[in-house]
Structure 1
């Protein structure tokens, strides 16, 4: 069973995604925690670094944004020069550029920006200057892929590009064309505003938290959307009427004495998820240790002693740990390099089963993850796209007394 639980409190909105009662994704929108990915700015180049193939761009936020040369070159590989030029032949300090944020500022690093613009709709992602058509990898039926690619070719004009999202599976031309027309008009308005704007300034911001999540994650498989504020419930229904009217009846108002996040165990689960040690149902546990660039996960049998033999005990713990690790990565929004120290196994077949279990679990993740494989030391390496700051940074700050080795709790759910 899949549920979305929405809690409104003063000027804060909390949204949780539950799968069979387990918290898998969690979002908070506050005045000081504003999502920037997808926003478009008219910026001014501050500094160009040929040795790094990058430039710093002032977009009007606290830290200058980082622009790689690959994000200046044409998006379509066929249109790129055979020999990559030096970045200082493409931009100079003082140049004004229209850029889009693709990664939030994290720690001491500013936002990463691109000139490969993309606007997300319900069924597709519109890329006004990309010149190519792509499909979600989660659409695996070959005939459906051919059909959608043909529709994409009909939809695009001139140098336009499009990505057909997973939810486009089975949709007809009229629905996709309506999405395309809406996004094309949005891009026209962005260009008009950019012409009038003074750099640095924001020229486009993506929709707020609740409408964005309804657009991105609500499908026929969503069983229930529970909201504890009438205004937010109407907002959810209004969004659904425009994209999936048949799902509006699944929105209901929570009117209990407790808030929705308390009644559905979200608050309790999040508190537990922020702890380094995560217990498994069998009695084993995983320990998650995060740094700015690397996350290390250690798997232990803990209280679980098994019933047959050591190899079977270890396998059971590792499989359960793989599923929990995938959930924790989504919930905490952990990105970058991840190294997992599973309990050692003798059989190669069992090592393969661990990778299969992890691959199956990360398929539920909307953020791209890649499992690299086992190292010579028996560690499993994987990566997960880093888009925004990890969730625990919303509730903790580095401890000044110990130089950042520890963390201090700064806030809690309301």
Structure 2
């Protein structure tokens, strides 16, 4: 069954539709105003250490310094047995970081009011089926996957992708996924982590090493390995960004990208919600 993705970009929002054999199957919308920085990874500098609060402030290049608590400077423990977690007791913040130190951190909570962003050094990178955990050595499975046979199958498959770079958490969406889909997800995440590591050595302090993917990029990431035959984009800026993204991380999709340069008011990429129906539709040429 042939399928194509239609990506419509406006200053206020991005819309993506998936069409199968001429029939609309899915619509995704992301409003620019609601995008935060959760998931972004920065190369920051510790600006202040507060032993009494067991915390530190980190300059990551934003208006307000971000907040890093000692409990967020820990290794991956999501899937470690309870009797093994004792070795990961929170240490004194003064033993973990020092003022002026460069540090790689990920945002777990957006800035709010007078408070800066909340950080962690426990980096995670999600994809459609997996979450990559740099530095970890285990495989975890979402508790929402209830079938023990399926849990064992997934864990057996994904265990082969673990190496010295890190381990994985298997997401709920992976239930029923085949080995090819899981392998492509793992390969994407490893390429992404390699790129972040390269930037860590090249970029200056207070730089963004990784920005959480926007809708168009996430959709391409999630549809790798599916029977997509064409991807139309009506924004040259996003088209060029997607070309660079696919070239680096999902090369199998790069040749499918097409720039739509027609009238957006009658574009097949222009997705709207009708005034008279709760159903989504695609405006035809």
TM-score, normalised relative to structure 1: 0.49
1:28 is aligned to 31
1:263 aligns with 2:266: no
For 1:191 and 1:89, locate their aligned partners in 2 and report how far apart those are by CA, in whole Å: 24
Q: Deviations over 1:318-343 (max 9, x none)?
A: xxxxxxxxxxxxxxxxxxxxxxxxxx
Alignment of 1:2-17 (within 5 A): 8-9=9-10, 11-15=11-15
Which residue, out of 155, 160, 164, partners 1:158?
164
Once residues 59 and 84 of structure 1 are traced to their aligned partners in structure 2, the CA distance between those partners, rounded to angstroms, is 23
Instruction: Report the Cα offset of residue 135 of structure 1.
Output: 1.9
| Partner SS state of residue 81, structure 1 | helix
- Structure 1 distance, partners of 2:170, 2:145, is 9
Is 1:142 the counterpart of 2:148? The answer is yes
Q: Aligned-pair distance for 1:148?
A: 0.6
Instruction: Say if 1:228 and 1:260, in contact at 8 Å, map to a contact too.
Output: no
1:125-166 residue CA offsets vs partner (Å, 9 max, x unmatched)? 111113332223332222111111112222111362201122
Contact kept? 1:116, 1:130, Cα under 8 Å? no
CA distance in 2 between partners of 1:82 and 1:121 (Å): 27
Matched residue, 2:136: 130
What is the aligned length?
247
Per the alignment, residue 171 of structure 1 pairs with 177
Show the 5 A alignment for 1:52-201.
Answer: 52-76=53-77, 78=84, 81=87, 83-158=89-164, 160-201=166-207
- Deviation string 1:66-100 (CA, Å, 9 cap, x unpaired) is 11212212222536636432111111111110111
Report how far residue 58 of structure 1 moved: 0.4
**Contiguous gaps of at least 5 residues in structure 2:** 18-26, 227-231, 254-263, 279-285
* Distance in 2 separating the partners of 1:27 and 1:217: 17
* Distance in 2 separating the partners of 1:235 and 1:58: 28
Equivalent runs, 1:14-413 vs 2, <5 Å: 14-15=14-15, 27-29=30-32, 34-76=35-77, 78=84, 81=87, 83-158=89-164, 160-213=166-219, 215=221, 229=234, 255=266, 260-263=271-274
Unaligned runs of 5+ in 1: 18-23, 221-226, 244-252, 268-414
CA-CA distance at 1:233 after TM superposition: 10
- Residue aligned with 2:150, SS: helix
Distance in 2 (alpha carbons) for counterparts of 1:173 and 1:163? 15
Q: Deviations for 1:106-128, whole angstroms, at most 9, x for unmatched residues?
A: 23221111111112223211111
Tell me how far 1:234 sits from its aligned partner. Answer: 12
Alpha carbons 1:45, 1:92 under 8 Å: kept: yes
Once residues 194 and 265 of structure 1 are traced to their aligned partners in structure 2, the CA distance between those partners, rounded to angstroms, is: 51
Conserved? CA contact 2:105–2:123, under 8 Å: yes
TM-score, normalization by structure 2: 0.68
Deviation at 1:15, TM superposition (A): 4.2
Contact persistence 1:6–1:261 (CA under 8 A): no
- The answer as to whether partners of 1:5 and 1:261 remain within 8 angstroms in 2 is no
Residues 190 and 5 of structure 1: CA distance in aligned 2, closer, same or farther (over 3 Å):
closer
Describe the SS at the equivalent of 2:52: coil
